[in-house]
Structure 1
Amino acid sequence: FGQKAENWVKIGDCPNEPDREELLFTHGSHKVMRLRYLLGELFELKSYSESFNSFPAIASHVTAYGRMYLWSLMQLCGHGNYFYCDTDSLVVNDTGMDNLTTVLHDIKLGFMKHEETTHKLIIHGLKDYEKDSKTVIKGIRKNAVKVSEGVYKQEQWSSFKGLLHSGDINTYTVKSITKHLTRKYTKGIVTDSGVVKPFALTEGLYDVN
């Protein structure tokens, strides 16, 4: 609903040219032109616009309402009784679970479902945590190989844009890359106890309260 589309316009033909993308910088100005050579034709990226099925009003309102509803559930749960939240979920302790009893239901729309009970939870950051049943790390594939703490090796599959940038669209290459996780948390102040304190905005600056 909220996606943008690239508007490419054909500006000529380029027979026998290899498929690729180029960035052209004009000397003495800030103008940048993005060109795409594809199947013997030359295209220029003119602008960005909403995609055909885009409707930002729906996407923004659904997202905003979901965040405010999740915040209300955190208030109901009680400060100190929740450890982590995601788009549509909470990780809470026994007290928090008891406080959420009125909004628990397996299939009722708008209610919370009890997914599982875990006895181990290590939270490194957003979408980066370990529990009894599995480890979740955003950007790390399930079949990735752990080299060391915070270092993973995995396959990287090229997108269509990636193939154009490579300059050889006829050869699909799967690369092996190594990812290093910094795990630096920037959404608040992490105390020595592990509790995260929020930023308090004061006249454009933030304080730690």
Structure 2
Amino acid sequence: CQSITIQFLTSVGECFDSFPAIAAHVTGYARMYLWSLMQEAGWGNYFYCDTDSLIVNEVGKCRLQKRINISLLGGLKIDRTGSTVLLRGLKDYSFGAKTVIKGVRKSAVCVEDGVYRQEKWPSFRGLLRSGQPEDYVVETVTKHLTRKYTKGEVTVDGVVRPYVLAD
């Protein structure tokens, strides 16, 4: 005899213990903290900033030295050092031997510049939607990156002038 459990979805929305305002506040605070670190490093001494990282030159590193403390909450740590950084866009950069490209797996094969071949694994939800969850098929997909920067104008010296939205 086999036991089967059936569950019904009775409502849609935030779960009981969820409080999105906390996450929004923490995210907003983190952005302001990163902005203050950029100001402390000084104009021209930072190259890239993301959710949890700030790439600076030697002067920026010296100016942030007092903030480097891996055991303090909010303290900085030096993840890696290098002599070159290639910034292609948001979450798309090479820093020394490390390459980060959002949406491209580390195991992807570079076919040519901006073209990558990688495996695409189906999600659990996708398997259920297909009606044949027993057919787990891993596809090979080719990603073509446009690398068009849409957040502002990149000047010849690499400085980004953000677009100003009209009122």
Q: CA deviation at 1:111?
A: 1.4
Larger RCO, structures 1/2 (Cα 8 Å, 6+ apart): 1
Aligned twin of 1:103: 67
**Which consecutive segments of 4 or more residues in structure 1 shift more than 3 A?**
45-48
**Aligned AA for 2:54?**
L
**How is 1:1-209 mapped onto 2 (pairs within 5 angstroms)?**
48-201=12-165, 203-204=166-167
The structure with more helix, counted as a fraction of residues: 2
- Alpha-carbon distance between aligned partners in 1 of 2:96 and 2:135, rounded to the nearest angstrom: 41
Change over 3 Å in CA distance of 1:140–1:53 after alignment to 2:
farther
Q: CA deviation at 1:108?
A: 1.6
Bigger CA radius of gyration: 1
Q: Give secondary structure in 2 for the equivalent of 1:69.
A: helix
Q: Which runs of 5+ in 2 are unaligned?
A: none
- Equivalent pairs counted in the alignment come to 162
Q: CA deviation at 1:58?
A: 1.1
Q: Which runs of 5+ in 1 are unaligned?
A: 1-38, 205-209
TM-score (norm 1): 0.71
Q: CA deviation at 1:160?
A: 1.8
Q: Percent identity?
A: 57
**Aligned AA for 1:185?**
Y
The structure with more strand, counted as a fraction of residues: 1
Change over 3 Å in CA distance of 1:190–1:46 after alignment to 2:
farther
- Comparing 97-106 and 148-157, the one that deviates more: 97-106
Residues 107, 113 of structure 1: 8 Å contact kept: no
Q: CA deviation at 1:52?
A: 4.2
TM-score (norm 2): 0.88
RMSD between aligned residues: 2.0
Change over 3 Å in CA distance of 1:48–1:153 after alignment to 2:
same
